[in-house]
A and B are shown apart, each in its own frame.
Chain A
Amino acid sequence: MQKMTARERVHSALERRPVDRLPVTEGFWAETLTRWRTEGHLGPDEDPIDHFDLDMRRAGGLNCIADLDFEPIVLEETAETILRLDGNGASLRRHKLYSTTPEHVDFTVKERGAWEKAIKPHLLAIDRRRIPFENYREERDKAAAQERHFCWAGMAPFEQMHPMCGHEYMLMGMALDPDWVRDMVNTYAEFTIRHLDLLFAEEGLPDSIWFYEDMGYKHSPFMSPTMYAEIMQPGHEKLFRYAHDLGRKVIVHSCGYVEPLLSGLVEAGMDCLQAMEVKAGMDLPRIWRNFGQHIAFCGNIDVRELVSNDPERMRAEVDRKIRPVLAGGGSYILHSDHSIPPDVDYETYAAFLAYGRPLGQLTWPTRRAS
């Protein structure tokens, strides 16, 4: 097969058509890059996308804080943590020494009334300050110059709601006042579309659209499939239809176990599922059997196998996960099941790419035959 550019390769994978080699994208912890730089594998300012010749660039996430004029208030500070009240009316405690999920301490919005009074009015109009025009332009130009695929990447409603009202209030709302949460989902979906319209009108379209939407945790989604269908799915349909109307494919990132929600996500129009955390219970061969006729996949390589830094274990994991998909004519983008932590040796990651990429060639004869 003729060699493809990275842009063509990802495009083909998302279209579920053959590729010359598996496209690759990845997330690296800052500590990982620091380690690899310290060890001399990467230059001080070298971009890992360039270094590893990854196929995709992502940029453009919106600032979803409700009140952009609110100056965050420090409520408490220790040597290790800082607790702030932010423009979402949320009090979140963050670690100062490393990045991690913030502790949810308190929220102004615990029910519909506070949402309607304190948050929703801020989300109804376009505010240019929410859009990172410059960063989007730079990354898109860089991708174009390198013939890489360029994604707009940002939050979808579930990820936009919980920093404002917290998971617990949001989930209790889904059970006890679903109309309230439906209103939030719809408001954030329309908010996103309004701002993307402006961004794309001024800066041009991306090649695809990537939504972050962590809807699961270990062994369970945050909601039932019925609740997804009734509350979340209408918002997703609106967003995914918007992307499709622009002629762009939709990649959905979700941490945690979301397999029970996949029927709904596929119905909403998702084109590619990304991450698929193994330790949460996601298993690509099984998911492929159920949904491979509808979507492409990206991820599910158990990072614990990479952390072992054992080439045999790494190859076995890649074989177990990817070969059944490709043998069945499926479409796949190489990625860990979340991101690369600093325990992964540079050599292991390089070997992972060297072993995984050529597997893309397996897809061609199978697909032609089918």
Chain B
Amino acid sequence: MSIHLLPAHVQAAEDLVAEAAAHGGLAPLDIEAFWHDDDEAHRDIWAADCPQMPLGVRMSAECVFAELDEAEDWHRHYHDGAYKQALCRRYNDRAEPIVGRRLLDESAPPDPSHIWPQPKQLYDIFEAKNIWNNESYWLMQVVDTPRDLEALLERVEKRLDSLRDFLLPSEWHSEKKRLQELGIPSPIYRAQRGPVTFATSIFGVENLIYLLIDQPDLAQRFSCVLRDAILARARILDEERGWDAGASARGWYWLDDNCYLLNNEMYEVFARPILEAVFATYSPEPGDRRGQHSDSDMAHQLPSLAKLGLNEVNLGPNISVAEIRQALPRAAIHGQLAPFTFSRNEEVNLVAECIRDAEMARTQRGVIFSTAGSINNGSRLTGLRLIMAAIQRHGQY
């Protein structure tokens, strides 16, 4: 549902949609001028001479099914690189005349002999399984009671004592020399499912909330072990890359949809210390990336995100550009188009939300117009063209 829309936004949107309808569904747009200005806008999203609100939507490979009217086969989409490549190529063939660019990655799947063996994930350290079920991967619950959690944390703590042996697969060292000689860098670790989403996945949502209320000491220990595991995994993979602590790549990004489930007091106790420690290590300078995606109701967590100095956010659609900007004056805001507005192809709302956000961005800039969350299958190229036209007509700075 669209929020914060004014009658003027809706009126302007209806006019543009009517024009598109009169042209076979294609919104009036100077494609070449749009991309020229968009490239310019991305050069510095804060600049006084930034020509227009930059567009962040580049669609996603999920959108191929609805756009191409293909039967959904998500398992194959995730696991068959050639199949996905073919779909993306067909999608791009369709995209080019509508929006003027080939949006999806249509490069060939990597040569298997050029892929590093997979180091174990954070969830492996916590004995969790990531299971394919109902068209997606789900991180499954490991423990259900505080007593079992305590036992798990003890095992994880022991595991952290010799984490390198646990983390790296047996063939790692034999492959390392060969792949380094080919100039293929080993994987590093700079993004993670956020602490609340991770903890609620492996321990249960209610269990974590009850733990924070009833057994704050154990909750704090859980938080500390999680922090230590993240830092240790990142450090080991850096070392395998040949980096020491001072010379590693900067920046970190969190994906923490569930953090809205905690009140701010709980978030401060459980999650913020983890983000703080990771940012202190990997994003120590003001310009280093401190990003978070949480496509949920995030207003109550903004004070914590502000304390953490986030400089890049992609938050849920119930919060406005103005509210985020007030809390995070220097954060790039990726949003605030409601994902359902896009995937349900609500054309008038699509345009109206774009005009709304352009108005809120005009004074302070820093908004990259994107979905406030994921781009879902059902989101259409004609919808993207409408957005582009809306920016060209109403989103000029």
Contact = CB atoms under 8 A, between A and B. Distances in A.
Interface stretch (A124-132, A220-228, A285-293, A354-362): A220-228
B105 interface: no
A220 B144 CA distance: 11
A358 B213 CA distance: 48
B210 interface: yes
A226 B214 contact: yes
Contacts of A224: 206, 210, 213-214
Interface residues of B, number: 8
A75 interface: no
A175 B206 contact: no
Contacts of A226: 210, 213-215
Contacts of B210: 223-224, 226-227
A174 B75 CA distance: 43
- Majority secondary structure, B binding face: helix
Interface in B179-231: 204, 206, 209-210, 213-215
A227 B209 CA distance: 12
B331 to A, nearest CB: 29
A227 B207 CA distance: 12
A221 B205 CA distance: 12
Contacts of A227: 210, 213-214
A296 to B, nearest CB: 26
A220 B206 contact: yes
Contacts of B214: 224, 226-227
Interface in A108-161: none
A176 B214 CA distance: 12
Interface in A202-253: 220-221, 223-224, 226-227
Nearest to A223: B210
A169 B261 CA distance: 15
A338 to B, nearest CB: 22
Among A175, A176, A223, chain B packs the most CB atoms within 10 A around the CB of A175
A355 to B, nearest CB: 34
B266 to A, nearest CB: 9
Contacts of B215: 226
A224 B209 CA distance: 9
Among A221, A223, A224, A226, chain B packs the most CB atoms within 10 A around the CB of A224
Given A175-B209, A226-B213, A226-B215, 16 more contacts: A175-B213, A175-B263, A176-B263, A220-B204, A220-B206, A221-B206, A223-B210, A224-B206, A224-B210, A224-B213, A224-B214, A226-B210, A226-B214, A227-B210, A227-B213, A227-B214
19 contacts: A175-B209, A175-B213, A175-B263, A176-B263, A220-B204, A220-B206, A221-B206, A223-B210, A224-B206, A224-B210, A224-B213, A224-B214, A226-B210, A226-B213, A226-B214, A226-B215, A227-B210, A227-B213, A227-B214
Interface of B: 204, 206, 209-210, 213-215, 263
The 8 A-B pairs at the shortest CB distance, nearest first, are namely A224-B210, A226-B214, A220-B206, A224-B214, A175-B213, A224-B213, A227-B213, A227-B214
